[in-house]
């Protein structure tokens, strides 16, 4: 409870000094130690301030964790192997790269497409190549994974064997970049497409795509 209504610095608390009875913001005990040590050097040096709760910060801010991973991903050793894909009436998938690491919803989507005689197709270019594709759109994107998603759109839109496009995003944690969504409204892809959320009913989505693919 903060009866003062004032914003507190990290580590500070509300106290009520006995000499006046007013509530006030009070620093932690270690806050005074640097000045004491300067005045009396014989005192032991002050301990460092407590470290931030990084794990708690990242779990409470998933978007912050995502951006941190994206900005450091290029420092990790990575070798790209194109996925083995086959089938006819291919439906290209555009999504944030991290969504493509979840086999659960991908399996459900593949099964729904197969019932309509369609096959899912993932971009078979390396992430660096997709980022270059995305940069050609000049959408002002900065995050590597946003560029990759935009690159999937550009690459799959002009790939002849891909007959339709499906844009999937998680609006809360892994949305498609706003400039790309605006581009879809302004200049639609040259083939049938749909934009859906991650919780979409896949059988219905597949049926609608199949209907749009009919001559």
- Whether 19 shows a pLDDT value over 50: the answer reads no
Of residues 196 and 6, which shows the higher confidence score? 196
Report the percentage of the chain scoring pLDDT > 90: 47
Its pTM stands at 0.65
Return left, alpha or beta for 183; rule: phi > 0 is left, psi -120 to 50 is alpha, else beta. Answer: alpha
Average pLDDT, integer, range 207-212: 94
10 Å CB burial of residue 66 (0-12, 13-18, 19+) is middle
Beta-bridge mates of residue 16: none
Please give the Cα distance from 97 to 152 (Å, whole number): 10
Residue 76: predicted pLDDT: 54
Of residues 9 and 182, which shows the higher confidence score? 182
Please give the Cα distance from 162 to 182 (Å, whole number): 22
Domain ranges of the chain: 90-213
CB-based contacts of 127-130 (< 8 A; 24+ apart in sequence): 127/78, 127/80, 127/97, 130/155
User: What is the full DSSP assignment across the chain?
Assistant: --TT-----TT-EEE--TTT---EEE--GGGSHHHHHHH-TTSPPPPPPPPP-HHHHHHH-HHHHHHHHHHHGGGS-----PPP---SSEEEEE--GGGGG-HHHHHHHHHHHHHTT-EEE---S-HHHHHHHHHHT-----SHHHHHHHHHHHHHHH-TTEEEEEEEEBTTTBPPPHHHHHHHHHS--SS-EEEEETT--HHHHHHHHHHHH--
Of residues 22 and 190, which shows the higher confidence score? 190
Residue 13: predicted pLDDT: 57
Residues 136 and 157 sit within 8 Å (Cβ to Cβ): no
Token readout for 203 is 């059988």
Name the fold adopted by 90-213: Rossmann fold (3.40.50)
Please give the Cα distance from 108 to 60 (Å, whole number): 29
Average pLDDT, integer, range 78-98: 84
10 Å CB burial of residue 145 (0-12, 13-18, 19+) is buried
Backbone dihedral angles phi then psi of residue 209, each to the nearest 5 degrees: -65, -45
Residue 6: predicted pLDDT: 52
The string of pLDDT tens digits covering residues 110-146 is 999 999 999 999 999 998 899 999 999 999 998 889 9
Report the percentage of the chain scoring pLDDT > 70: 63
Please give the Cα distance from 126 to 114 (Å, whole number): 26
Position 22 confidence tier, pLDDT thresholds 50, 70, 90: low
Residue 195: predicted pLDDT: 95
């Amino acid at each position: 409870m903060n009866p003062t209504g004032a914003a507190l610095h990290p580590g500070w608390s509300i106290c009520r000094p006995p000499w006046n009875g007013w509530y006030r913001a009070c620093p932690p005990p270690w806050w005074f130690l640097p000045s004491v040590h300067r005045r009396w050097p014989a005192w032991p040096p002050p301990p460092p301030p407590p470290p931030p709760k990084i794990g708690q910060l990242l779990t409470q801010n998933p978007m912050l964790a995502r951006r941190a991973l994206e900005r450091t991903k290029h420092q990790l050793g990575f070798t790209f192997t194109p996925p083995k894909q086959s089938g006819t009436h291919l439906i290209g998938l555009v999504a944030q790269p991290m969504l493509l690491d979840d086999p659960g919803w991908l399996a459900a989507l593949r099964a729904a497409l197969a019932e309509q005689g369609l096959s899912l197709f993932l971009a078979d270019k390396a992430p660096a190549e997709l980022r270059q594709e995305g940069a050609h759109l000049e959408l002002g994107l900065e995050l590597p994974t946003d560029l990759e998603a935009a690159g999937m759109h550009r690459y799959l839109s002009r790939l002849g064997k891909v007959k339709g496009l499906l844009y999937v995003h998680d609006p809360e944690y892994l949305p498609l970049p706003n400039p790309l969504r605006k581009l879809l409204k302004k200049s639609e892809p040259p083939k049938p497409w749909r934009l859906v959320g991650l919780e979409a009913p896949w059988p219905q989505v597949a049926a609608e795509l199949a209907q749009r693919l009919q001559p």
